[in-house]
Structure 1
Amino acid sequence: MFSVAILGVLVALTLAVVRALKGPTAFDRLLAANAIGTSAIMLLALFGFMTGRPEFLDIGITYALLNMIGTLAVLKFFRYGALGHAQDPAKEREPE
């Protein structure tokens, strides 16, 4: 049963890689990269349960957090052009 699920996730992973390579916009590629990360997490979980080692879920959860932080960092870079975006100093000061 787990092997069939792993096969299905591998098919989805292959389709996501194709979308990442062919995506016409950067946001399509970002969405595909996020889907690849999600598929990798599912593969980790399925492989862990198939081999009787559910502690692979801890690795999957850690990878999910890194995937989310990476996606947010890329989106911030697209919006502001830099990851260390600072507020406009003129807006922070009050008039004297």
Structure 2
Amino acid sequence: MIATACLIAVCIIAAAALMNLYRLAKGPDVLDRILSLETLTTNTIGLVVVIGIWYGTSLYFEIALLFVAVGFLSTVAFCKYLLRGNVIE
């Protein structure tokens, strides 16, 4: 039962990631592309967590925590770059 639910969740998250990739490529401006990249990071985290549940190991949850940290820092860096023109002052 869990394997079927995880398979359905992986398919749905993969479809959402494909839609985010489309928005990343065709976004009308830079802000839409940054938002799409952040949402793609969230989808990747969800995908890694579901795969961790599917395989029953905790290693994937640690990988998801790394994705959370990198995703947050990259979004902050992109936004700061857009606002001020540089990341490190």
* TM-score, L = length of structure 2: 0.91
- CA displacement at 1:84 relative to structure 2: 1.9
Q: Does 1:20 align with 2:20?
A: no
Question: Between Structure 1 and Structure 2, how many residues are aligned?
Answer: 85
Query: What runs of 5+ residues in structure 1 fail to find an aligned partner?
Result: 86-96
One-letter code of the match for 1:6?
A: V
Match of 2:69 in 1: 65
Residue of structure 2 aligned with 1:36, choices 15, 36, 40: 40
- Runs of 4+ in structure 1 deviating by more than 4 angstroms, as ranges, are none
Greater relative CO, 1 or 2 (CA 8 Å, sep 6+): 2
More helix by share: 2
- Tell me, yes or no, if structure 1 residue 45 matches structure 2 residue 46: no
Larger Rg: 1
Could you say what secondary structure the match of 2:56 adopts? coil
Q: Structure 2: state its 5+ residue gaps.
A: none
- The residue aligned with 1:93 is none
| Partners of 1:42 and 1:69 in 2: CA distance | 18
Aligned alpha-carbon RMSD (Å): 0.8
Deviation digits for residues 30-68 of structure 1, max 9, x if unmatched? 000001111111110001110111331111011111100
Tell me how far apart the structure 1 counterparts of residues 9 and 74 of structure 2 sit (CA, whole Å): 27
Identity level (%): 22
